[in-house]
Amino acid sequence: MSIAFFPGCTLSTKAAGYDISGRAVAQALGMAFEELADWQCCGATFPLATDNTMALIAPTRLLVQAQKAGGHVTTLCAICFHVLRRTQHILEHQPEMLERINWFTEEPYQGGARVSHFLELLREEFTWGALSGRVTQPLKGLKVAPYYGCLLLRPQAEIGLDNPDEPAILHDCLAALGCEVVDFPYQTECCGSYLAVSKPDLPEKLAHDILTSARRNGANAVVTACPLCQFNLDYAQRKEIRHTLEDTLPVLYFTQVMAVALGLDQDVWGMDKHYVDPLFLFSDLR
Amino acid sequence: MIQRALVIGAGIAGIQAALDIANSGYEVVLVEKEPSIGGHMAQLSETFPTLDCSQCIMTPRTVEVGHHENIRLYTYSELESVTRSESNGDFMVRIRRKAAYVDWSLCTGCGVCQEKCPFKVESSFERGIGPRKVVYTLSPQAVPNKPVIDAINCRYLQSKWDIETGRLPAVDKKGNPAQPRCGACAKFCPTGAVNWNQKDEVFEESVGAIVVATGYDLFPQARLPEYGGGNIPDVIDGLAFERLLAASGPTAGKVLRPSDGKTPKEVVFVQCSGSRDPERGVPYCSKICCMYIAKQAILYKHRVPDGQAYVFYIDVRAGGKGYEEFLNRAQEEDGVIYLRGKVSRLFRDGDKVMVKGADTLSNRTVEIAADLVVLATAVIAHTGSRRVAEMLGLATDENDFFTARNEELDPVVSRMPGVFLAGAALGPKDIPETVAQASGAAAKVLGMFQREKLSAVSVQL
Amino acid sequence: MRTRISVDSVRGEFVHQIETISGQSLLACNQCGKCSAGCPVAFSTDILPNQVIRLAQLGIDDVLDSQTIWSCAACLTCVSRCPKGIDLPRVMEAMRQLKMERDGNQIETTDLSPEMVAEVPQLALIGGFRKYMT
């Protein structure tokens, strides 16, 4: 079985590790990703000005591609997911907006495309129980803090993936993989997002608070579903590599943990470009 | 018309209404769901703004109710059905008194059963601060001071019923008839008042007028996930803090953290927890919280002089007599720090509770590592009120509070002739207003009865 | 200088523009401060998020000069906890758009060092450009 997949710009470059591990894991579970034939950047932000129709054209075009690929598209990048899900929602509720956007797209969007995040497919279609059954590599000693960030969950009314106050989807995924899951209070606090470009001190400070909280609650790794969260949390520790590894917290994508747990080969773990090298976490598995 | 009144609910509103009517020479049937009377006022430590001891000011009235020759008191009872005579408008009421498994005519209120009962369960009266026994009275000053047995948690009753229904074997290993477990209370009761075979009883009463005084509940913490959702032991609601303050409470009036029993040195009070929140809570203001939080902050400082209290607020509502002065006292005399801004979230951080708030007046985001957090959760309609409304054909608003015939001019008169309303059943309110409304409702009842008498006299003439 | 408040300010063009672009009714905000309390970046800004709304309510358009609107990361925590359901991120966006209409881009591609462009994920660059450039 194959599912239409939209990687997005960052997965194709800076977040290649997410892409490699994601595709490998999906393949291993029998849900091989079939990349959309034609795609472009989703825009990376959902337009918040009510009259900004321009910024909706790119994601609508992606929904058209999804339509052509059978009507259902999956994402890994939390931001792509956020943009597409909210675009689909607004077009469904504002037909005048849809009509206007269709003037600008090469092919009109008919409506009704389904946008999911890979975590949803795992939860609803594959199921956590089945995932547990596929684990061949116990992850001894891995104490993972699931970090959700913001855009995977909010706003709840339009995204509807999980409860932003008490999310469980990453917890459940990691628990199904046999990790010890560490709850910590900063799991939905913002990493600073695109301020990495304009005000880099802010993400550095926010990342520090998030990582400190995760560490204080006993985590030895942080898991995320967003390339920007991964970057902000990882990059903030770049100077700490010179100190002992006990001070650092590797920041992994959930698909990377899945790749290890499902016993896949190390070359699909995608762990070679982190600022804090996560490989030492898995060294005793060999 | 039968010149007898029914009062539903024996909190301070019901008590006052019943006494006013009974002291004017008429019979009152007073029905209360809990085993004893007093409602939430019985849970309070002191009342604002006088800081009178709540039990002390209330006990003369509860005792008067308990002994009054004109008041027929049904506690541990609920209204089962109401029918109305078409000819004279009298109400025929069926009241179900739950089986207490204690014969109150034999019980002397000695309390030995409670002492000897080996099992403790969570007490809703203590709001999670302390336990009660399975056979219990709500407090040492309960009126009536007679216990009930909580059947669901009683080992004797559960095992007795299991044996009777075959879920447990009817004979033991030696072939003798199986005995239910425990039964300590019955063994020690000096008057043999424990009656394992007691059943619910249904009583019928006829009355000419009804006063509804069903009171209020508090918004559940589970609906405040950003404040811990009720899962953080050191985050409690206002009534729970009252139980900590109360001399007759589970900690004998010492302010102690539920988690480890230590004295909290920094206590944060969060106003508007659920109130004034159309999106996620209730849209209205709960009226009493600004005042009771100030009171609780003052009392905390009296008990823990080197402690610090903080109050997060949006506005402070202090409209009653002496209320503004009371607020000033909290700040000037007891050093309570008021921070203007609604708390965004709370979470556990080690053994502290981290409070993320803001002080919009000084233009700062703030955080406090609190030892204890008290949430002023919204005042909501009592869970039983909707059923009573349906039974009596009364109107309620979208928040389940009873609506009066005219909210400005007839606040204690319902839209149903002969049925009057009083107290928090109508909406959040403080004790003075509650008692005033109760007397108002009672006056309406007495007026009804008097007009009946007058018209009967004029017919005679 | 005292701020003059009049019908021209509280029902003026600035308020109208903010409300139209954001689709929000500014006077629904009762300044409870919960947004500020939960904002992850408010510790670093000149004015609090609730004060941004406050100045807008009064039609005081020098709120457009605040730093707060540029520190907003659109994390959506504020709107998810606001008791009145006011969409602050949309108001912040409206502010940014109006400011850029008046004074141009807040960031230029030439401001970014090649090292940063090499390090930072594309989506941060695109997101940043979207928010900071017209």
Q: What is the pLDDT of residues B104-129, one digit of tens each?
A: 999 999 999 999 999 999 999 999 89
Predicted local confidence at residue A246, as pLDDT:
64
Residue range of the domain that includes B173: 112-188
Last residue of a domain, one of B316, B348, B379: B379
- Alpha-carbon span A150 to B309, nearest angstrom: 33
Give the Cβ contact number of residue C134 at 10 Å.
10
CATH 1.10.1060.10 fits C7-103, yes or no: yes
Asked if B77 and B33 count as a contact pair (C-beta separation under 8 A), the reply is yes
Residue B119 touches partner A, C-beta closer than 8 Å: no
Same domain as B349, residue B435? no
CA-nearest of B445, B426, B446, B320 to B381 is B426
Contacts of A165 in chain B (CB under 8 A): 225-226, 229
What is the β-pairing status of strands A32-35 and A2-6? parallel
Residue A286 has pLDDT above 70, yes or no: no
CA–CA–CA angle B441, B444, B450 (5° rounding): 145
Query: Is the pLDDT at B252 greater than 70, yes or no?
Result: yes
**Residue B444 resides in a domain:** yes
Q: Report which of B274, B288, B271 is spatially closest to residue B427, judged by C-alpha positions.
A: B288
Contact A198, C132 (CB under 8 A): yes
Which has the closest alpha carbon to B221: B237, B241, B242? B237
Spatial distance between the Cα atoms of B209 and B12, rounded to a whole number of angstroms: 19
Domain boundary among A119, A148, A164: A119
B105 domain residue, yes or no:
no
Smallest CA-to-CA distance from B338 within B312, B360, B364, B357 is with B312
The helix (run of H) or strand (run of E) holding residue B381 is strand B379-381
DSSP state of A179: P
pTM for the whole structure: 0.92
Pairing between strand B131-133 and B120-122?
Answer: antiparallel
- Does A185 sit within 8 Å of B225, measured CB to CB? no
Q: What is the mean pLDDT of residues B419-438?
A: 97
B182, pLDDT greater than 90: yes
Neighbouring-strand partners of residue B413: B420
- What's the mean pLDDT in B156-164? 93
Q: How much of chain A, in percent, has pLDDT values that exceed 90?
A: 87
| Torsion sign (Cα): B403, B409, B415, B416 | positive
Residues of B in contact with A216 (CB under 8 A): 349-350
Q: Is C28 on the interface with A (CB under 8 A)?
A: no
Q: Does B348 touch chain A (CB under 8 A)?
A: yes
A251/chain B closest Cα distance in angstroms:
22
Would you say residue A244 has pLDDT above 90?
A: no
Give residue-wise pLDDT tens across range B314-352.
Answer: 999 999 999 999 999 999 999 999 999 999 999 999 999
Task: Tell me: do A82 and A137 sit in the same domain.
Answer: no
Rounded to whole angstroms, how far apart are CA atoms A55 and A151? 17
Q: What is the pLDDT of residue A204?
A: 94
Q: Which residues contact B186 (CB under 8 A, 6 or more apart)?
A: B156, B192, B194, B196
A109 and A154 inside one domain: no
Number of domains in chain A: 2
User: Would you call C37 and B357 a contact, using CB atoms and an 8 Å cutoff?
Assistant: yes
A182: containing domain: 127-285
pLDDT at residue B113 in the model: 96
Cβ-defined contact of B226 to A165 (cutoff 8 Å): yes
**Would residue B195 count as lying in a domain?**
no
Q: How many domains does chain B have?
A: 3
Residues B222 and B343 in one domain: yes
- In this structure, the answer to whether residues B230 and B356 fall within a common structural domain is yes
Are the Cβ atoms of C81 and B272 closer than 8 angstroms? no
At A159 the pLDDT is 96
By the 8 A CB rule, do C17 and C100 touch?
A: no
Domain termination residue (choose one: A119, A142, A166): A119
Specify the DSSP element, H or E, that contains C68. helix C68-71
pLDDT at C111 over 90: no
**Rounded distance, CA B154 to CA B431, Å?**
36
Domain identity same for A97 and A209? no
Choose one of A67, A100, A119: the last residue of a domain. A119
Q: Quick one: pLDDT band at residue B140, thresholds 50, 70, 90?
A: confident
Same-domain check for residues A111 and A174: no
The per-residue pLDDT for A245 is 54
Q: Is residue B295 part of a domain?
A: yes
Cβ distance C122 to A202 less than 8 Å, yes or no, reads: no
- Which of B379, B407, B438 terminates a domain? The answer is B379
CATH number at residue A112: 1.20.1050.140
The amino acid at residue A53 is T
ipTM greater than 0.90: yes
Q: Say what the pLDDT of residue B200 is.
A: 97
Average pLDDT, chain B: 95
Mean pLDDT throughout B46-59?
94
